[in-house]
Amino acid sequence: MSAAPLIDPFARPITYLRVSVTDRCDFRCTYCMAEHMQFLPKAELLTLEELGRLSNAFVDLGVRKLRITGGEPLVRRNIMSFFRAMSDRLGQGLDELTLTTNGSQLARFADELADCGVRRINVSLDTLNADKFAAITRWGRLAQVMDGVAAAKAAGLRVKINTVALKGFNEDELFPLIDWCGEQGHDLTFIEVMPMGDMGEETRLDQYWALSDLRRRLESRFTLTPLAERTGGPARYVRLEETGQKIGFITPLTHNFCESCNRVRVTCTGELFMCLGQEDRADLRAPLRASPGDEALKDAIRAAISRKPKGHDFDYSRGVAGQMTRHMSHTGG
């Protein structure tokens, strides 16, 4: 039974796993973390070897795409040993190994990532203005990220830029971001800010810029042709006919994307979240550590997938700042 593929209660195959390797980050983005975050004790984190064993169990059960997340995944010590271990599964059950990063460490690791079989990456970047970048990340430097993106491109990695749409912050950069990505050959995806965690003085309602409005602004300058293409994630894509660029939209608020959800998330402590927008979770650390074999672990995974809900219920109309108590950095970006 434990060798059968993962199918959730709504007949959706689970083929995409996002693994958080750390809750730590070298930035403190205002929509993601409080400025003075209380991170998990390092003793609670799974070892890199345990994360590899857990990831391999999912691949054995039919996961074809593995995305490494954080926090910022590249700040975890010896993280490349994990990438090297998982690269052995490419072509052996795993179709793609990739990551989402803030770009700060890419100049160090881009070549090694490419050597491990990583072919494309997502880089989170919300502004091209150095002062605004410092403000939104609190601790980040735009030049460092730009150097990292350039290193990734030089290493042959395909770069997709992920931009969180933030009202009053980057509305005026909609077209400059598109122009820059076009010049650099990067795809671009816009993301609605999600109600995850307590931000202190920051409120989600103040930050929320609906992508339906962003899309209308695009249509004032470009002809948008919907694309059937999917990359295994929640984005819906269009082509800008005037430039040929591909633009993605991730819209958990204005357009629920749950009907085709094929993904689950594992945290750096071994918690499996079947849905980003629900609190239900399963403890995989206990069965992982209970036995050197993987049968109990796979049974626990299968039992958790049997509880995967039909969808999330993010909703700003309730007038609250965040529906999920955990921060995005805990679940994995």
Cβ 60 vs Cβ 299: under 8 Å: no
- Is 25 a known ligand-binding residue? yes
Q: What confidence score (pLDDT) does residue 38 get?
A: 81
Q: Is 100 annotated as a binding residue?
A: yes
Q: What is the predicted pLDDT for the residue at 251?
A: 85
Q: What is the pLDDT of residue 266?
A: 97
Asked if 158 and 120 touch (Cβ cutoff 8 Å), the reply is yes
User: Is 29 one of the annotated binding-site residues?
Assistant: yes
pLDDT in the model for residue 321: 40
**Entry pTM:** 0.88
261 annotated as a binding-site residue: yes
Known binding residue 308? Answer is no
264 is in an annotated binding site: yes
Residue 165 CA: distances (Å) to CA of 122, 169, 207, 291:
16, 8, 8, 45
Question: Is the sign of the CA dihedral 215, 218, 220, 226 positive or negative?
Answer: negative
60, 3 contact by CB (below 8 A): yes
Instruction: Name the residue among 206, 218, 138, 208 with its Cα closest to residue 178.
Output: 218
The pLDDT value given to residue 260? 75
Determine the Cα angle at 91 with ends 107 and 56, to 5°: 80
CATH number of 16-331: 3.20.20.70
**CA-CA-CA-CA torsion sign (304, 305, 306, 310):** positive
Say if residue 12 carries a ligand binding annotation. Answer: no
Q: Report the pLDDT value the prediction gives residue 320, as an integer from 0 to 100.
A: 43
263 is annotated as contributing to ligand binding: yes
Peptide bond into 71 cis (omega under 30): yes
pLDDT in tens, the chain (333 residues): 456 789 999 999 999 999 999 999 999 888 888 777 888 888 889 999 999 999 999 999 999 999 999 999 999 999 999 999 999 999 999 999 999 999 999 999 999 999 999 999 999 999 999 999 999 999 899 999 999 999 999 999 999 999 999 999 999 999 999 999 999 999 999 999 876 445 454 555 678 899 999 999 999 999 999 998 876 567 899 999 999 999 999 987 555 557 778 999 999 999 999 987 677 899 999 999 999 999 999 999 999 999 998 875 544 444 444 454 545 555 665
Q: Is 268 annotated as a binding residue?
A: no
Angle, to 10 degrees, between the axis of helix 174-184 and the axis of helix 211-219?
A: 70
> What pLDDT sits at residue 105?
97
181 is in an annotated binding site: no
Report the pLDDT value the prediction gives residue 254, as an integer from 0 to 100: 52
Give residue-wise pLDDT tens across range 22-65.
999 999 888 888 777 888 888 889 999 999 999 999 999 999 99
